Amino acid sequence: MSHRTKAQILVEQAQGRWTPAFAGVAGEKGLRTPGWTVHLLQPSDPSDPDSPGFAPIPRKGQGTSQGDLIPRHSLEAGKTPDEYLSIFQNAQGDKDSPYHGETGMTPEDGIIAFMIHLTETGKHLDDVWSPTNSSCFIGAFFSSIVHVPSTFWDRNFHYAHFGYNSPHDLSGNMGVRSSVVV
């Protein structure tokens, strides 16, 4: 299997070698309709792309940088959902940003990531009683109620909690997961 970096995939996508998910797939009568969405997430061990599960969200001051061409620092917990969203919005117009091409996840993306992580590692993603804690889904902003969905696993009560936060809530245990959609 050939491994590509995020930067390489984005270059290939710009060259037309990949069709981005938002473009859909050609269907009957040549109309484009949504198809599969493929998300690239950071593996649990960034030095091993085949490592099981996904990387935890580091606490403030505990993130690390990965990559050689454009080093990407981990998105750490402790920002507001608005701040995370701003990082991704600013990166879309800056091809030199390490976050260029990344997007926040939706609750549906989070459910799939949770199930994959649990299947591959036997551990819950975003355990509220561990350093990872909780994740906000900035890929889904409900303007009608002016809130951002969030989730965490509660090991004491054995359930996944889905809730919401104000876009301006600042919490040291709230982080964000991002992905590159190809």
Long-range CB pairs of 111-115 (<8 Å, 24+ gap) are 113/39, 113/41, 113/54, 113/177, 114/151, 114/153, 114/160
> Average per-residue pLDDT in the chain?
79
Distances, alpha carbon 182 to alpha carbons 12, 41, 70, 116, 117, in Å: 10, 11, 19, 18, 20
| Domain-embedded: residue 19 | no
pLDDT per residue as tens digits for the range 19-52? 555 555 444 455 544 556 778 888 998 888 899 9
Residue 97 has a pLDDT of 94
pLDDT per residue as tens digits for the range 109-161? 989 999 999 999 998 888 777 665 788 888 887 666 678 888 877 777 777 87
d(CA 44, CA 62): 15
Q: Is the pTM above the cut of 0.85?
A: no
Query: Which pair of tokens denotes residue 106?
Result: 């939706």
Instruction: Give 86's pLDDT tier (boundaries 50, 70, 90).
Output: very high
| Domain-embedded: residue 62 | yes
Q: What is the domain count for the chain?
A: 1
| Domain-embedded: residue 28 | no
| Domain-embedded: residue 8 | no
| Domain-embedded: residue 51 | yes
What domain range includes position 112?
42-181
| Domain-embedded: residue 99 | yes
